[in-house]
Structure 1
Amino acid sequence: MRYVRPVPATESVPPPTPGADPRPVPGQDPRVQWGLSLAVVGVGALTIRPMGLGGQGLAVAVLFVLNAAALLARALPEHRVPPRLALAWLTLGIAAAAALIGVSDSGTSYLFAYFIAGHIGYRLDTRRALVLAAACSLLCAAVLHFHLGPGDPELPWLLGLTTGVPVVVGILNRTQRRAVRSALSAAEAGERAARAEARTAVLTERGRIARDVHDVLAHSLAGINMQLELADALLDTGDLAKAREATTKAHGLVKESLKQAQWTVHALREDALPLLESLTAMAESAGHHDAVTVTGTVREPATRVTQGLLRIAQEALTNAARHAPGGRVGVGLTFTAESITLRVRNRPATRAVTPGAGSGMGLIGMRERVALLGGSVTAGPVTEGQDQGGWQVEAVIPG
């Protein structure tokens, strides 16, 4: 069974320090300890003799109370008892247990020594536990062997030597407890790491969506707004022909925005899109037929690489339509063993360019997108060849 305690991301998990972790360990029910301790005390009260208000009976009664207190103190939480205090308490408990064995004439006085020795192994570190358990065995054996008190004549001194044996059980329980707490801490740390990774993924996805929204809406809405403001100004001057021309351009921008929105929906989907087919369809929808050329062996890259290349191509085609209307556009894909290169080049405009400055965020979005994929992007004017005077965007992405 996997145990996971919900932990806030800002909470730190303490290391599994012995005796300092207040968290409960699965499988250890404190009620069981209470039940065993009360059972030993109850059996001792019924069997240990003599017990009274004077002489030997008073000594037995006092030692019985001390042993009962030392045994019941096992239920105290570890983080509430300092190690030195625990050592002193258990040492006195052993002395009281050996004294009770020597003073009582009959009964189960030896049970206190067994249970306290077992708890020594659970509560103390291994070295101290073994030393104290050996002292418990030697002390109880000496009391019985040398008859240091009335004692029970039927108890052999070898029984006293075995009183320290339960320390082994206590050490094993302590080792298991530490292993369980270490596993819990590791699980909590792993859970927080997974939560942090998921948060990072969410923030990255938000950034990607923000870039996609900008690519689709910012340029188009700015152009539409400019044309509508122009039409409004022309209406005030009474120039209906030019106002109608401005609204026609606004309608054209709306249609273009709808096409771009369709491609954005595809790009935001988690399904993998075929790179070459999608790029060809995108170029044709922008009015550039047979514009895509391929160099190298075509392969399908990872989904995020495909989405990045398509969004860069979309931005480049949009900018070409805006700043070089009527100019021929060429889209090139080059596949090598290490990378994929996308090149979008347009010739100078052959029709009038609608005035208006861009926001400059398109190229920034391209660079951010390519940087997330570990690639590079360059953009600038074409200075030679038949496309001289045009513009080129080139993105190189590993994959």
Structure 2
Amino acid sequence: MGYGRAVPVSESVPVPGSARGRESGPRATARHDPRVQWVVSLGVIAVGIATIRPVGSSGRGLAVVVLIALNSLFLLGRNVPEDRVPPRVGVVWMVLGLVAAAALVGTARGGTSYLFAYFLVGHIGYRLPLAQAAPLAVLGGLLCGGVLYLHLGPGHEALPWGLGLSTTLPVVMGIISRSRQRAVEAVIESAESAERAARAEARTAALAERSRIARDVHDVLAHSLAGINMQLELVDALLDTGDLAKVREANDKAHSLVKESLKQAQWTVHALREDALPLMASLTAMVESSGHRDALTVGGTVREPPARTVQHLLRIAQEALTNAARHAPGGDVRVEVTFAAASITLRIRNGPATLEAAGPGGGMGLIGMRERIAMVDGTLTAGPITEGPERGGWQVEAVIPE
């Protein structure tokens, strides 16, 4: 009745932001696919081996082979995850890679030796902050352009020195890629935070639902079983007196309480299954089943309030009637429902007991009523009646705003 079903919370689901959630969730997709990086790196190395000359086992050919191997090593190093390389080691590794790339440009006679410098500088822009990436990119361009301009090797005959300077440009693409990835990660982090908040809210809702079910079980079982137990104890005591008429009366009363308990259990099942119950029809049946016919009066224009309000009003009425039967047996009971423009008031009054009352209760009934009324921002007052024909009785008044 007006409550959402409990949200299932599985502890086995990886929490966003955890190690498992990051590696298998959307954050992993925001990073560069390592397989693509490996394919590109191996492709550059294959093109270099196929085109860069001279290659030999001695002299300049051997030097070119060694430089190709070094450049390949530095290029493959960009596939190592950032968190596995200390920042200083990473900077030193990239500087050495630039030196090796410039040396290859100056030593080789032609081919695609400059590709190693291009891809390494681009990775510098992606891997390092702008304050570090820009100076290293300029350094790479000056080194590659310088070896060609100063004719430090045979490469100047096939490659213009301006091509060496152009190796600075890929840093821009790396910086743009880095900025875009940071933006994507920021969006993903925001989404993960929202999901964590939703999971926390779901856990809170589940706990609140468990508390509600506990209150409903208490309302149905604790008071009903207490009343039945009281009648059975009375039957046991009357058996010793031999007064069969009173024994039958107490036994009938116990049967009546059992039937009432079944009805209350049915109301509880309806609530847990989110079935909406009509307020006035349910309240009338509840009052009559408690043995007080024509005790219900209505004021104002009757309307059907929200299901949540109906549930709380019925539970409060049930609790108050049960308390009246337990603590003031035989006393008159009056139930009033007043429909105002912005609220509904439920007032239950009972006169003093005319029969022997049961012992004091545990006080959970009044606590449960106050908890319920607090859920709908209403007010509840309960206390003895000090004047009028019902003096010495008890009154419960609940006001729920709409």
TM-score bracket relative to the smaller structure:
0.7 to 0.9
Residues 270, 276 of structure 2: 8 Å contact kept: no
149, 153, 163: which one pairs with 2:167? 163
AA partner of residue 360 (structure 2)? A
Give the corresponding residue for 1:3: none
- For the pair 1:257 / 2:230, whether they are aligned, the reply is no
Give the corresponding residue for 2:124: 120
RMSD: 2.8
- The alpha-carbon deviation at position 339 of structure 1 amounts to 3.7
Give the corresponding residue for 1:372: 375
Q: 1:287 to 1:233 in 2, by over 3 A?
A: closer
Give the corresponding residue for 2:197: 193
Structure 2 unaligned segments of length 5 or more: list them: 1-9, 20-26
TM-score (norm 1): 0.87
- For the pair 1:344 / 2:348, whether they are aligned, the reply is yes
Greater RCO (Cα-Cα under 8 Å, separation 6 or more): 2
Residues 345, 392 of structure 1: 8 Å contact kept: yes
Q: Encode CA deviations 1:345-369: one digit per residue, 9 max, x unaligned.
A: 12334x4234333232111111121
SS of match in other structure, 2:28: coil
The within-5 A match list for 1:294-305 is 294-305=298-309
Partners in 1 of 2:31 and 2:16 — Cα distance? 24
Residues 339, 345 of structure 2: 8 Å contact kept: yes
Give the corresponding residue for 1:360: 363
Structure 1 unaligned segments of length 5 or more: list them: 1-5, 16-22
Residues 376, 400 of structure 2: 8 Å contact kept: yes
- The alpha-carbon deviation at position 387 of structure 1 amounts to 2.6
- For the pair 1:172 / 2:171, whether they are aligned, the reply is no
SS of match in other structure, 1:25: helix
Residues 267, 311 of structure 1: 8 Å contact kept: no
- For the pair 1:246 / 2:254, whether they are aligned, the reply is no
Partners in 1 of 2:132 and 2:218 — Cα distance? 69
Residues 117, 167 of structure 2: 8 Å contact kept: yes
Give the corresponding residue for 1:18: none
- The alpha-carbon deviation at position 252 of structure 1 amounts to 2.2
**Larger mean Cα displacement after TM superposition, 331-340 or 80-89:** 331-340
Residues 15, 196 of structure 2: 8 Å contact kept: no
Q: 1:331 to 1:269 in 2, by over 3 A?
A: farther
AA partner of residue 387 (structure 1)? E
Partners in 1 of 2:341 and 2:95 — Cα distance? 74
Q: 1:7 to 1:93 in 2, by over 3 A?
A: farther
Q: Encode CA deviations 1:17-49: one digit per residue, 9 max, x unaligned.
A: xxxxxx633573211111111111111112111
Residues 104, 152 of structure 1: 8 Å contact kept: no
Number of aligned pairs?
388
Residues 9, 192 of structure 1: 8 Å contact kept: no
Q: 1:40 to 1:191 in 2, by over 3 A?
A: same
Give the corresponding residue for 1:395: 398
Q: 1:9 to 1:118 in 2, by over 3 A?
A: same
145, 159, 170: which one pairs with 1:141? 145
Residues 109, 158 of structure 2: 8 Å contact kept: no
Q: 1:335 to 1:127 in 2, by over 3 A?
A: farther
102, 114, 131: which one pairs with 1:98? 102
Residues 108, 154 of structure 2: 8 Å contact kept: yes
- The alpha-carbon deviation at position 295 of structure 1 amounts to 4.2
Partners in 2 of 1:219 and 1:145 — Cα distance? 98
- The alpha-carbon deviation at position 300 of structure 1 amounts to 4.1
AA partner of residue 362 (structure 2)? S
Q: Encode CA deviations 1:355-394: one digit per residue, 9 max, x unaligned.
A: 3332321111111212222233221111112332221001
Give the corresponding residue for 1:86: 90
- For the pair 1:38 / 2:39, whether they are aligned, the reply is no
Partners in 2 of 1:45 and 1:214 — Cα distance? 81
SS of match in other structure, 1:343: strand
Q: Encode CA deviations 1:323-356: one digit per residue, 9 max, x unaligned.
A: 334433322234445543321112334x423433
Partners in 2 of 1:293 and 1:86 — Cα distance? 83
Partners in 1 of 2:285 and 2:106 — Cα distance? 98
- The alpha-carbon deviation at position 101 of structure 1 amounts to 0.4
**Larger mean Cα displacement after TM superposition, 213-222 or 48-57:** 48-57
297, 313, 317: which one pairs with 2:317? 313
AA partner of residue 367 (structure 2)? I
AA partner of residue 168 (structure 1)? V
Partners in 2 of 1:130 and 1:291 — Cα distance? 87
Partners in 1 of 2:163 and 2:208 — Cα distance? 70
Residues 9, 195 of structure 1: 8 Å contact kept: no
Q: Encode CA deviations 1:166-209: one digit per residue, 9 max, x unaligned.
A: 11222222223223333333333322222221121111111111
Partners in 2 of 1:239 and 1:336 — Cα distance? 51
Give the corresponding residue for 1:67: 71
- For the pair 1:282 / 2:286, whether they are aligned, the reply is yes
AA partner of residue 125 (structure 1)? P
SS of match in other structure, 2:64: helix
- The alpha-carbon deviation at position 105 of structure 1 amounts to 0.8
- The alpha-carbon deviation at position 52 of structure 1 amounts to 2.3
- The alpha-carbon deviation at position 240 of structure 1 amounts to 4.4
Residues 124, 174 of structure 2: 8 Å contact kept: yes
